[in-house]
Amino acid sequence: MQLTRLEIKGFKSFGDKITINFNDGVTGIVGPNGCGKSNVVDSIRWVLGEQSTRALRSEKMENIIFNGTKNRKAANLAEVSLTFDNTKNILPTEYSQVTLTRKLYRTGDSEYRLNDVQCRLKDITDLFLDTGIGADSYSIIELKMIDEIITNKEGSRRNLFEEASGISKYKLRKKQTFNKLKDTEADLARVEDLLFEIEKNLKTLENQAKKTERYYRLKDQYKALSITLASFKIASFSESLSKIEEQEQKHKTDKTGIVAQINTLEAEVQKHKLESITREKNLSVQQKATNEYVSKIRAYESEKKIKNEQLKFQQDKEKRLSEELERDRGQLNHVLYNLKRLAEEKLQEEETLQTVQSNLTDLKEAVDELRAQQTEARNELNELNTINNRLQSQLYKAEKDLEIFNIQQQALEQESQRNMEDASSKETELSHFNQAVSDLQTRVEALEIEHQLAVEFETKLQEQIAGTENNISTLKDSITADSRKIDAKQNEYNLTKSLVDNLEGFPESIRFLKKNTDWAKNAPLFSDILFCHEEYRIAIENYLEPLMNHYVVESYEEAIKAISLLSNAARGRAQFFILDSFKDIVTPDDINSTWKPALSVVEVEKKYQSLCSHLLKNVYLVDDANDQQMDTSQLPADVVLLGKSGKFNKSKHTMAGGSVGLFEGKRIGRAKNLENLQKEIKSLDAEINTSKGQLENLQAQLTAMKSAGKAAEIRQQQHELNNLNTELVTIKTRQEQYQAFIENSLNRKQDIALKISTITNDIALLIPQLEEFKIQKQLQSEQLQEKQADFTELNELVTVRSNAYNQENIRFHQQQNKVSGLMKDQEYRESQKEALETRIAQNNGELEKVKVAIQENLQQTGHSDDDLLGMYEQKEALEKATQQAEQEYYEWRGKIADTENEISALRRKKDNAEAIENELKDQRNNLKIELNSLKERLSVEFNIDIEDLLDTEASTEESETELREKTDKLKKQLDDFGAINSMAVEAYNEMNERYQFIQAQKRDLAEAKASLLATIKEIDDTAREKFMSAFTQVRENFIKVFRSLFNEEDSCDLILSDSQNPLESDIDIIARPKGKRPLSINQLSGGEKTLTATAILFSLYLLKPAPFCIFDEVDAPLDDTNIDKFNNIIRKFSKDSQFIVVSHNKRTIASTDVIYGVTMVEQGVSRVVAVDLRELAD
């Protein structure tokens, strides 16, 4: 597969359509900074499907559309097409040529096309998958991508290896399979959730369905029994209703007699009540007098009772105070006893405290003394340990030094032996180098003479070539300038001709008469008969502007025909100049010699001169550079002055002027102007043809001079000379190195002998020291053991004494707390004694006061008892009179009560009769209600009309009681069922069917999951095998290419950081040029990084060559030597792939086959010029 053509239109700076054809070998793209070189690379990346605006060096995708310049409008479409030859069928399509096109409209719409058939981005991605071609593949390399490969930014190394190894499609398939697996697992989880919910609901529905079926069976039985029981009830209701109606009739007759007796007795009661009222008034007067006297007695008794209560209270208080005094005196005696006891205990405990404190002081002194001895012993022990450790270190150091001396002695002896062998070998090789240096110097001198002669010849020839090229450049510039003039004239000619042909700017009547020429043979417009130089054209046109649309006719008849034609066609109006009316017009003399007559600058045919003389008489052209010419104060009345640039025109009484429009001066003399333009175009064509002939002759001469040049011979000689010099320098360097090596070997031999002697002396001195250290170490160890035993014994004694001291200290604090407690108890008893003494004194004083008050109350109580006895006798007389009045009143009340009792008894009889009557009514109503209830229940529960049962005879097989028991039992069972789901059976069947269907789906999903897992494993195994195979080959290729770019002795490698998981592992690069030991690849220089990344890219190409490769200024960090290496390897690989190199480097450009120069002839618009260097080389 080969890249053949790139077409760009409206993309970034490519406003015009450009085409770049690609051939075999190396294609270079060159140009100054900012000319649009990298836009070529961006266009290829974009058409291959790049979606990142950052990769395209733009903020948003719309910005890639050509944005216009000050002379051009912005484009509405960016379009790039890339064409491939698919003769080897690398692309999976039957077409031998594939054209990929991408378009982006400013509206935001975009499209992809394959061979002009609209497609998707996915189709393009699939088409180029694993071909090495893509927007982010290793076929397009920028300078920043070199750093990304070195730093492994965003896994860029791994992406390159995956593309080269062909596992991208596997990773894509794996990703797609993983997505399917996730969807399947999600579906499976949803199905399991559904099954869980359905199983939970299904069991419930099954129970509900069974319950519903049992319910409906019981309900059928209950219906049959209820109907039979209803027949019994209906018969019983009819019999009971007849009995109740008979009893109602009997009780109505009895109630009528009772009502008559009640009315008679109520009349007697009214008479007795009048007599009773008189007796009641008499009783009321007597009771009032008695009650008033009783109230007086009660008030006297109340006063006496209060005094008795006061006496009782004082006596109780006297008793209470006496008891409190007795109790307080007893407590005071007890407190005095406790105070005496506490004083004695305190004295004893203080003596005990002094004894304990004395013992504690003795024990503390003993413990302190032992601890001081312990500290001293510990310090001695630490000092012995320090000495022992120091001796141990000295002994270890001496043993180590002795071992090092022995090893150094052996190494020096071996080195001395090798040094002598190497020196002998180098002396033999040195003699060969001496002879080679002599031969090379002779060859270099001869070749330098030949090279100098060729350079002198080439210098003279280049001077001639430079002169010829300057002439060619001058001719080309002249041709270009003339071509531009022709383009300008041709454009002006086309515009003017279009205006003339289409009569643009003229009214419809003029265009109509122009199309219909029958009214006159030759009637031109006034604007077409005039012609004047461009300098005065605007001024004349502005003055004659109102007359420009007039037709010029020979006679009135022609004008009348035209007017009639316009009138009949209703096409407007037109104006006419009649030539016959302008005969014998005399041209006036000049008024002012400084003014230029307008007639003198106008060219017109002879027959129109009279017309122009009439129109332009006394019209003059003046210079309008200053405003003095605008002064009209001295101007004759019939004179008109025109500013020659059209700035103003004026007469004695009027003036007009202002700015000049862009298209003014274009209407006058259009026909004449067309003839002049055509002549100028022919003249310029002739000049260009002449210049092209001269250019062809000069180019032929230049080609002959260039073919006669010896540049290739000079380069060959220079190349040979460089090679010889390089070889001479190399051999001289090796010669000097060998000579220096031999001299160094002799010096080294002496140094080694001296070092061995020094080491032998050191060993002899070190052995006695080592023995002395061992003896001192033994003695010190024994002394340390003895001291350690004494220290252990002392520690045990300190522990025993410390424990005894701690126990005594605890006892001391306990005794101290006991004494403190006794002191607090003594203080509390003292305060208690003071409180009791104070309270006893207060109670004695209060007791004396109470005794005096009791004596006074006893004297007052004796006088009030005699008055109270007289009041009691008077009260008894009043009460006897009241009793007599009451007896008379209650006798009459008794009579009334007896009569009312008789009435009440009769009323009770009446009420009983009414109650029985009402009860019978209620029974009758209840029977009717029960019958209606039975009717409604039968209608509601069983949809049966009770009328249908009236004629039905009740079954005699079972009694009503048995039926009622069975019915109640069934009713209870139905009630105990609770709520049932009437749709349960149908819902259960429907859900069970859905459950079986989802179970089948679950099995299908489980099988699909297993299949996807197997597919993922198969993809992983295949991808791992392909990747490891590719990685091994790339690693071997990398080592070869790296050493070809550096030196054979350089070390490099590629390593997988996680060999157990190669498909996800990072790839580490090891690169160590000779003489360097970088800790990481980032410590290499910029040129070394570039060559290392280049080595990786070409090692990938060796595995899987991409059809083409683009390097965008990758060679920028390289020096001349590394540039040659870079170019050589590109040249080597160009046999299998196309290379497109964007570069500023002259060496790189010189090594390409075809150069496309990108330039901006017009500011902001990139253009491309091709140069085939192979033709020049031939």
Model pLDDT for residues 801-821, shown as the tens digit of each residue: 788 877 877 877 877 777 777
pLDDT digits 0-9 by tens, 368-384: 888 888 888 888 878 88
Between CA 1164 and CA 1153 the distance in angstroms is 28
Neighbours of 95 (CB within 10 A): 12
Same domain flag for 8 and 126: yes
Is the domain of 5 the same as that of 65? yes
Closest CA to 928 of 246, 241, 227, 230: 241
Is residue 721 in a domain? no
DSSP state letter for 979:
-
Q: Which domain holds residue 637?
A: 531-665
User: Are 100 and 150 in a shared domain?
Assistant: no
Q: Please give the Cα distance from 903 to 213 (Å, whole number).
A: 69
Task: Give residue 981's pLDDT.
Answer: 67
Among 3-12, 273-282, 512-521, 826-835, the range scoring the smallest mean pLDDT is: 273-282
The tokens describing 215, both together, are: 């319910």
For residues 511 and 538, the answer to whether their CB atoms sit within 8 Å is no
What is the structure's pLDDT at 66? 92
Three-point CA angle 569, 573, 577, nearest 5°: 120
Tell me the average pLDDT across 1000-1005. Answer: 84
**Average pLDDT score, the chain:** 79
CA distance 390 to 397: 10
Domain match, 1161 and 1054 both: no
Sign of CA dihedral 323, 327, 328, 329: positive
Which residue bears the tokens 């316009």?
A: 566
**Residue 1075: predicted pLDDT:** 66
Which of these three, 632, 665, 698, is where a domain ends? 665
Q: Element (H or E) spanning 863, and its range?
A: helix 711-937
pLDDT grade for 101, boundaries at 50, 70 and 90: very high
3-state secondary structure of 79: strand
Residue in the block written with tokens 């103003």? 648
Top-confidence residue, 104 or 516: 104
Residues 560 and 543 in one domain: yes
Residue 1082 lies in a domain: yes
Residue found by looking up tokens 């990398």 in the block? 1038
- Pairwise CA distance, residues 198 & 210, whole Å: 18
Identify the pLDDT of residue 1175: 56
111 phi/psi in degrees, rounded to 5: -155, 155
Q: Could you give the C-alpha distances from 986 to 205, 218, 977, 1000, in angstroms and in order?
A: 10, 20, 19, 22
Helix (H) or strand (E) holding 19, with range, is: strand 18-21
Q: What is the pLDDT of residue 991?
A: 78
We report the CATH number of the domain holding residue 1065 as 3.40.50.300
Residues 1064 and 1086 in one domain: yes
Give the integer Cα–Cα distance in Å for 712 and 329.
148
What does the alpha-carbon distance between residue 417 and residue 752 come to, in Å, rounded to a whole number? Answer: 10
Task: Return the pLDDT at 112.
Answer: 93
Q: What is the pLDDT of residue 11?
A: 93
Which DSSP category does 265 fall into?
Answer: H
Q: What is the β-pairing status of strands 18-21 and 619-622?
A: unpaired
CB atoms within 10 A of CB 373: 14
Of 648 and 465, the one with more pLDDT: 465
- Supply the pLDDT for residue 837: 80
Catalogue the E-assigned strands of 591-745: 596-597, 602-603, 619-622, 640-643, 648-650, 655-657
Q: Give the distance from CA 1164 to its chain's centroid.
A: 38
> Residues 6 or more apart from 668 whose CB is under 8 A from it?
527, 530, 531, 532, 537, 540, 541, 544, 548
Prediction pTM value: 0.37
3 state SS of 1161: strand
In a domain, 479, yes or no: no
Give the phi and the psi of residue 99 in degrees, each rounded to 5.
Answer: -115, 120
Tokens in use for 154?
Answer: 């965003």
pLDDT digits (tens, 9 = 90+) for 1032-1075: 888 888 888 888 888 777 788 888 888 788 888 888 888 887 76
Distance in angstroms (rounded) separating the CA atoms of residues 551 and 803: 146
Those residues with Cβ within 8 angstroms of residue 987's Cβ, 6 or more apart along the chain or in another chain? 205, 209, 981
Closest to 31 in 3D by CA, of 1160, 1176, 1177, 1172: 1160
Q: In sequence order, what are the residues at sequence separation of 6 or more whose Cβ sits closer than 8 angstroms to the Cβ of residue 672? A: 528, 531, 603
Q: Which one of 1104, 1134, 1164 terminates a domain?
A: 1104
pLDDT at 1174: 59
User: Is residue 550 domain-shared with residue 660, that is, in the same domain?
Assistant: yes
With 90 as the cut, is the pLDDT of residue 689 above it?
Answer: no
- Nearest in space to 616 (alpha carbons), one of 554, 524, 543, 551: 543
- In the chain, the amino acid numbered 980 is I
Look at the block and give the residue holding tokens 């509206």: 107
Q: Does 1093 lie in the same domain as 1131?
A: no
Domain finish residue from 1078, 1104, 1130: 1104
Q: Are residues 1026 and 1123 in the same domain?
A: no
Q: Report residue 78's pLDDT band, with 50, 70 and 90 as the boundaries.
A: very high
In a shared domain, residues 1037 and 1147: no
Are the C-beta atoms of 231 and 949 separated by less than 8 Å?
A: yes
* DSSP H or E stretch at residue 1165: strand 1165-1172
1064 and 1167: one domain? no
DSSP 586: P
The label of the residue with tokens 């996730």 reads: 182
Q: What percent of the chain has pLDDT over 70?
A: 89
Is the pLDDT reported for residue 662 higher than 50? no
Least confident range from 466-480, 489-503, 1000-1014, 1045-1059: namely: 489-503
Asked whether the beta carbons of 213 and 220 are under 8 A apart, the reply is no
Domain match, 1140 and 1096 both: no
Give the helix/strand (H/E) hosting 1141. Answer: strand 1138-1142
Residue 96 is assigned to a structural domain of this protein: yes
d(Cα 504, Cα 498) in Å, to the nearest integer? 8
How many structural domains does the chain have?
3
pLDDT tens string 181-232: 888 888 888 888 878 877 777 777 777 777 777 777 777 777 777 777 777 7
Instruction: Return the pLDDT at 102.
Output: 94
**Across residues 887-905, what is the average pLDDT?**
76
Helix axis angle, 1120-1133 to 984-1045, nearest 10°? 120
Residue 200, both tokens? 């939970």
Bridge pairing between strands 97-105 and 110-114: antiparallel
Asked if 155 and 142 count as a contact pair (C-beta separation under 8 A), the reply is no
Residues recorded for the chain: 1178
For residue 951, what pLDDT is reported?
Answer: 57
Residue 255 domain-assigned (yes or no): no
Element (H, E) at 696: helix 670-708
* Element at 157 (helix H, strand E): helix 156-165
Main-chain dihedrals φ then ψ at residue 341, nearest 5 degrees: -65, -45
Collapsing DSSP to helix, strand or coil, 88 comes out as coil
In this structure, the number of other CB atoms found within 10 A of the CB of residue 786 comes to 10
3-state secondary structure 988-1023: HHHHHHHHHHHHHHHHHHHHHHHHHHHHHHHHHHHH
Domain assignment of residue 579, yes or no: yes
pLDDT confidence of residue 6: 92
Model pLDDT, residue 147: 79
Q: Hey, what's the torsion of the CAs at 353, 355, 356, 362, to 10 degrees?
A: 140
Residue 339 in any domain: the answer is no
Residue 111: strand pairing partners: 103
Closest by CA to 535, choosing from 486, 600, 470, is 600
The verdict on residue 1031 lying in a domain is yes
Residues 688/486, Cβ–Cβ less than 8 Å: yes
